[in-house]
Chain A
């Protein structure tokens, strides 16, 4: 995959201030929270932390002060790869003309029950 397609979705790739080996600042982390058992982890925001344990503790303090979560995932932002919105048109094109993938595509009599 070409470099441009794997840009960090969170920070602007042109001016992204967080680089590996930056001696000054704590890296940026993305935070994902499972709000209750049975639900997916959902992206809630980001924060800075020196390492993963600190990122998880900070995420608890910043994003779950009112019992919003029972499980936290953190990942350093620079490890996230994303699709490019500029190419969304062609990228999602293959699904565009496949209405037959939806149940409503099929014309069936109203008398047909339990389907």
Chain B
């Protein structure tokens, strides 16, 4: 870079950071640092992939839901998740990446998605635990993103957060009904909480001292709270909510710390976390295979729709010419 363009870039960067500092949103055509664009593309597309892959553990239970009401609810929830994926893909596209490229990155394994979806949903109670814990953790992560510095991302998050609230409430209600049911139902409820608790706690990502990119993201206001701050909030909220279920969280070290006015909790198994992220979770292969298969199975539909649209357009053009003549 020569001296002149270096000076321009520095000036641009200053204008950009000044806007961010004053909470003025950055919009698609505004100048932004390349690293900001890249970070956003990575974060937003990962988020979109998580919504799309997140449909898979639940889809399994649509045909097995215990009542028509539960079935309708679950379909609506899964449909919301498809919608959330689409809002987010659209937001990422404003940064200059194509939909096909993002899908390709997911399918090749280059792009990640939330590792929580690599755990199996083996009982109906899992639909409750996923709604309460997984969606609950997601909401805590997502609410600050409604104020993210990038306009299209923040706007997508506002819509998502509005819709996500029903997901969490229906999940808690599933567990509440089970917790007031038979002994077997109560066991099923506790078992689901036991299996989903720690993976949900891990959803907030590595500890702050092991999260090297956080500082930059905070400076850019893509991130507003640290992983550990959000995780602590989640534990504090759930430790109280679980009492309403008459269940327990699977953590012997969970206890109220009067001095900190927060709950203390046990150590997180980071080895498991990295293992699942790196592809060795219980369902990584199954999830990705299902995604790739669905995309491949839909190829003829996409092609046919495009062919149909082109044929129609050509016909209309011809009719128009006929009238003009």
The interface residues of chain A lying within 8 Å CB-to-CB of B302 are 26, 50
Per-residue CB contact flags for chain B residues 59-85 toward chain A (1 = under 8 Å, else 0) read 000000000000000001001100100
| Min C-beta distance of A6 to chain B, whole Å | 12
Tell me whether B28 and A15 are in contact (CB under 8 A).
no
Binds B, one of A82-90, A92-100, A102-110: A82-90
When distances are taken between beta carbons in the complex, the residues of chain A under 8 Å from B27 are 85
* B113 in contact (CB, < 8 A): no
Q: Are A12 and B312 in contact (CB under 8 A)?
A: no
A window 41-59: CB within 8 A of B: 45-48, 50-51, 54
The answer to whether A9 and B305 have CB atoms under 8 Å apart is: no
Contacts of B31 in A (CB 8 A): 85-86
Number of A-B contacts (CB under 8 A): 78
Question: CB-CB < 8 A to B100: which residues of A?
Answer: 17, 24-25
Q: Are B86 and A12 in contact (CB under 8 A)?
A: no
A92 to chain B, nearest CB (A): 15
If A47-B90, A51-B309, A65-B79 touch, whether A15 touches B96 (CB-CB below 8 Å) is yes
Q: Are B29 and A46 in contact, with the CB atoms below 8 A?
A: no
Q: Interface residue count for A (Cβ, 8 Å)?
A: 30
What are the interface flags for A61-79 relative to B under an 8 Å C-beta threshold, 1 for contact and 0 otherwise?
1100110000000000000
How far is A1 from B141 in the complex, measured between Cα atoms in Å?
A: 44
Majority-rule SS of B interface residues: helix
Cβ-neighbour of B28 out of A11, A18, A62, A84 (below 8 A):
A11
Main secondary structure of the interface of A (DSSP, over half): loop
Cα A46 to Cα B91 with chains together (Å) = 8
Tell me, in angstroms, the Cα distance from A51 to B311 when the chains sit together. 11
Asked if A10 meets B94 with Cβ closer than 8 Å, knowing A50-B306, A65-B80, the reply is yes
Q: A25-B99, A66-B163 are in contact. Are A45 and B93 (CB under 8 A)?
A: no
Write out the residue numbers on chain A whose beta carbons fall within 8 Å of the beta carbon of B11. none
A71 to chain B, nearest CB (A): 19
Known: A12-B94, A17-B98. Is A26-B83 also a contact (CB below 8 A)? no
B313 touches A10 (CB 8 A): no
Q: Check B101 for interface membership: any CB of A closer than 8 A.
A: yes
Give 17 A-B contacts (CB < 8 Å), ordered by A residue: A12-B29, A15-B96, A17-B96, A17-B100, A18-B98, A24-B100, A25-B98, A26-B302, A45-B90, A45-B155, A45-B156, A46-B93, A47-B90, A48-B99, A51-B313, A54-B305, A85-B30
Q: Which residues of A approach B to under 8 Å, CB–CB? A: 7, 9-18, 24-26, 28, 45-48, 50-51, 54, 61-62, 65-66, 82, 84-86
In order of increasing CB-CB distance, the 6 nearest A-B pairs are A17-B98, A12-B96, A51-B309, A15-B96, A50-B305, A50-B309
